[in-house]
């Protein structure tokens, strides 16, 4: 059975928790397993081997991220905006669809989608070579480093494949197989996308997400400026609890979650002493060093 290059969509959160190891295997090379059957003729048990070919792209929707936290490293996590502002935009869009302008926009949208689908049919399955891959400066002590880097490299590869008609097709000397190479424009496009989603790679609970926003506001008010270098930006559990109107216990809980996710760092204090925390480099936006096209061009 082959699921290679197919998309598997899962909307049952309970099922996702039960087949996490299976999904991890499918996302890579595939899955092999054995099933024992009883022969209706002899009554003896016989083992049959099955293989599902991969890789497979997996899409899933969940409401409780804690229940699937063990496999989030294998996914690119996107959060839904459930704010009042976003809800107002949705309601406005729903009303617009019923108007003449809305109907014309929908027809134009379908035309654009059809054009993109037809363009994708023209893409060829070339191997993609990234001559700049070794230039990535990803710190080994960064949380989830081994899962974030492949996502970035895969994104560059996907952009390169989509732009294949802007490239020269090369051939490998040994096998004669065709390949295309990543260029500076591919990296620049991938950087714009990656910088927008890299912070969502490690999801937070709603309480922790709100606490993180409150922390940024708290530190901005304390210093009187927008948060910058972490040295002078520290806060205590009691300060966050008072600012966010949380109990001390709840504040400690969300701080612990943010610290484990790499958004906060413990500066000082221990049991019996005041604990001080600060925003980590990750939250300040410098934990993941993206390839810089212009610097690469000057090196070349």
pLDDT tens, the chain, 300 aa long: 677 778 888 887 777 767 767 777 777 777 777 778 887 888 888 888 888 777 778 888 887 776 676 677 677 777 777 788 889 999 999 999 999 999 999 999 999 999 999 999 999 999 999 999 888 776 666 656 777 788 888 899 999 999 999 999 999 998 989 999 999 999 989 888 887 676 555 567 778 888 888 888 888 777 654 444 444 478 889 999 999 988 989 999 999 888 887 788 888 777 777 888 888 765 544 445 566 766 666 665
d(CA 138, CA 289): 6
Q: What are phi and psi of 196, to 5 degrees?
A: -80, -20
Q: How far apart are CA 127 and CA 179, in angstroms?
A: 5
DSSP reduced 3-state for 278: strand
Q: What is the pLDDT of residue 156?
A: 92
Supply 300's token pair.
Answer: 């070349």
pTM: 0.61
Residue 226 CA to residue 197 CA, distance in Å, equals 22
Query: What's the Cα-to-Cα distance from 187 to each of 152, 183, 282, 297, rounded to whole Å?
Result: 10, 7, 21, 11
In this predicted structure, what is the pLDDT of residue 284? 47
In this structure, the strands spanning 178-181 and 170-171 are antiparallel
What is the reported pLDDT for 229? 43
Tell me what pLDDT residue 230 has.
41
Q: Which residues of 121-142 are buried (b: 16+ CB within 10 A; e: fewer)?
A: eeeeebebebebeeeeeeeeeb
Rounded to whole angstroms, the Cα distance separating 183 from 181 reads 6
């Amino acid at each position: 059975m082959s699921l290679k290059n197919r998309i598997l969509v899962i909307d049952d959160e309970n099922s996702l928790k039960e087949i996490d190891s299976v999904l991890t295997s499918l996302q890579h090379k595939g899955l092999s397993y054995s099933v024992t059957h009883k022969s209706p003729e002899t009554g003896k048990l016989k083992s049959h081997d099955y293989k599902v070919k991969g890789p497979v792209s997996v899409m899933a929707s969940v409401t409780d991220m804690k229940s699937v936290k063990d496999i989030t490293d294998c996914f690119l996590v996107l959060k839904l905006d459930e704010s009042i502002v976003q809800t107002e935009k949705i309601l406005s869009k729903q009303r617009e669809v019923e108007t003449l302008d809305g109907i014309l926009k929908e027809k134009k949208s379908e035309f654009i989608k059809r054009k993109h689908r037809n363009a994708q049919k023209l893409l060829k399955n070339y191997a993609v070579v990234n001559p700049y891959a070794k230039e990535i400066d990803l710190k080994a002590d960064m949380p989830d480093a081994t899962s974030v880097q492949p996502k970035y490299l895969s994104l560059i590869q996907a952009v390169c494949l989509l732009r294949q008609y802007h490239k020269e097709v090369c051939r490998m000397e040994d096998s004669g197989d065709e390949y295309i190479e990543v260029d500076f424009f591919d990296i620049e496009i991938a950087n714009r996308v990656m910088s927008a989603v890299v912070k969502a790679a490690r999801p937070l609970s709603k309480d922790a997400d709100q606490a993180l926003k409150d922390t940024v506001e708290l530190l901005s008010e304390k210093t009187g400026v927008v948060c910058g270098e972490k040295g002078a930006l520290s806060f205590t559990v009691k300060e966050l609890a008072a600012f966010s109107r949380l109990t001390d216990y709840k504040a400690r809980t969300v701080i612990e979650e943010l610290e484990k996710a790499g958004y906060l760092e413990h500066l000082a204090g221990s049991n019996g002493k005041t604990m001080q925390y600060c925003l980590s480099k990750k939250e300040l936006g410098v934990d993941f060093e993206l390839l810089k096209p212009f610097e690469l061009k000057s090196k070349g």
